[in-house]
Amino acid sequence: MAKDTTRRSFIKAGFAAGAGLAAGQASAAGDPLITETQDWNQQLGFGVDERPYGIPSEFQKHVKRRSVPWLTADPISSINFTPLHELDGIITPNGLCFERHHGGAAEYDPASHRLMINGLVDEELVFTMEDIMRFPRENHVYFLECAANTGMEWRGAQLNGCQFTHGMIHNVMYTGIPLRLILKEAGVKADGKWLLAEGADASGMTRSIPMEKALDDCLVAFKMNGEALRPEQGYPLRLVVPGWEGNMWIKWLRRLEVGDQPWHHREETSKYTDLLEDGNARRFTWVMDAKSVITNPSPQAPITHGPGPTVLTGVAWSGHGTIPQVDVTIDGGKNWHKARISGPSLDKSMHRFYYEFDWDGSELLLQSRAHDSTGYVQPTKDELRAIRGTNSIYHNNGIQTWYVNKEGVAENVEIS
């Protein structure tokens, strides 16, 4: 079904589509949108002082974070989702990054924010934001995926849209200080093997992080995509823990304690653990395994143009490295095709893939399968369930299927 979509075939198809529309409508040459002067050609646009901080076009109002009201008891300790089906490339715009707060989004004055280091250090220290800004900075693009992303799908296809099934992820360029420089300043004692990171928000979130990771690639970040962190993302300071589950990326970071063992706090015992088939719970599943999802077509982004050249696109990521390959199928796995990855291929960052095909108007079963730089291949949901059972919530990186009917309408389904 897939065939080479050369430039010539696109142009031919374009005319064919125009001709198809011609029944009762203007042909391309007689289109009044081209031949007549329109209202908006006759009035001046708005001036440069109108929007000192830019906002998207009013025709983009549907591009927004959405929540699922029944998922949580109230909107304060809740979650909303990134509209993946409306995005392209690899960077998530700041205003569309999903939010997960356990005690609401706090807004702090950076002038009174402090970061303290205590515990097994040579010298306990307190930094102001000004102190933090005097350390050497680094820029890195990383994905943040909540461990609960796709968590509603363990027992079967449930939420109808990649925004809801896969939208607990964002991919941002952070500017920050390597955590190791801050730890070095305080001097970690020889038995300092663990780090507790604590947030200043009402939830007082805490997580234990092994010292090896803290000294490796963690950042204390203050900028996202070039501008200050948004309050929703932990302004003025957040921990960046590349490739590891989002819960560890403590927002509104106020304290780092060095210890000789993990603290076993709430978020690493009763939450963010994986109940296995045999009833035991697995702790400390830190790294987010390779995963991908087709964002278009998908339930919120049906095919509206009818048969002909069709662009399939999606995103893939791995907490273990880069994504050298993504396979896609449009017939439920009978034939797999190598997708085209376009854009930067960065370590622990989202990758964008495309697969162009000529849709013949028949039903489709769309799937994508990511391979990461360690050779690991994204598993099917059934392969995951064989190990994990169906009582899990977290760390579901199974292959997603969208069914597309002859009208181009897509639906979340499972095939086995």
Which one of Co ion, ligand MTE, none is in contact with 323 (Cβ closer than 5 to 8 A by kind)? none
Residue with smaller CB distance to ligand MTE, 396 or 401: 396
Q: For the chain, how many helices (H) and strands (E)?
A: 7, 23
Integer-rounded Cα Rg, in Å, for the chain is 24
- Residue 219 is a binding residue for ligand MTE (CB under 6 A): no
Q: 85 is in the binding site of which of Co ion, ligand MTE, none (Cβ under 5 to 8 A by kind)? A: none
Sign of CA dihedral 285, 289, 295, 299: negative
227-286: which residues touch ligand MTE (CB under 6 A)?
232-233, 246-247, 249-252
Number of chain residues interacting with ligand MTE (CB under 6 A): 21
Select the residue whose beta carbon is closest to Co ion and give its number: 146
Q: How far is CA 215 from CA 80, 139, 300, 350, in A?
A: 31, 17, 41, 23
Sequence-separated (6 or more) residues with CB below 8 Å from residue 365: 329, 330, 331, 332, 333, 401, 402, 403, 404, 413, 415
Binding site for Co ion (CB under 5 A): 100, 146, 246-247
Q: How far is the CB of 193 from ligand MTE (least distance, A)?
A: 22
Give yes or no for residue 298 binding ligand MTE (CB under 6 A): no
Closest to ligand MTE by CB, 137 vs 271, is: 271
- What gap in Å lies between CA 218 and CA 203, rounded to an integer? 22
- 293, 356, 65, 344 alpha-carbon torsion, rounded to 10°: 80
- Site string (164-203) toward ligand MTE, x via CB under 6 A: ------x----------------------------x-x-x
Nearest distance from residue 159's CB to Co ion, in Å?
16
Q: Is residue 347 helix, strand or coil?
A: coil
Q: Does 297 bind ligand MTE (CB under 6 A)?
A: no
- Min CB(218)–ligand MTE separation in Å: 13
DSSP string for 173-227: EEEEEEHHHHHHHH-B-TT--EEEEEESSTT--EEEEEHHHHHHT-EEEEEETTE
CB of 131 to Co ion, least distance (A): 29
The residue (of 252 and 402) whose beta carbon lies closer to ligand MTE is 252
Q: How far is the CB of 249 from ligand MTE (least distance, A)?
A: 5
Q: Give CA separation, 83 vs 67, 263, 288, in Å.
A: 11, 35, 20
Torsions phi, psi for 318 (to 5 deg) = -150, 135
In whole angstroms, the minimum distance from the beta carbon of 169 to ligand MTE comes to: 8
Q: Name the residues that contact ligand MTE, by CB under 6 A.
A: 97-102, 144, 146, 170, 199, 201, 203, 205, 232-233, 246-247, 249-252
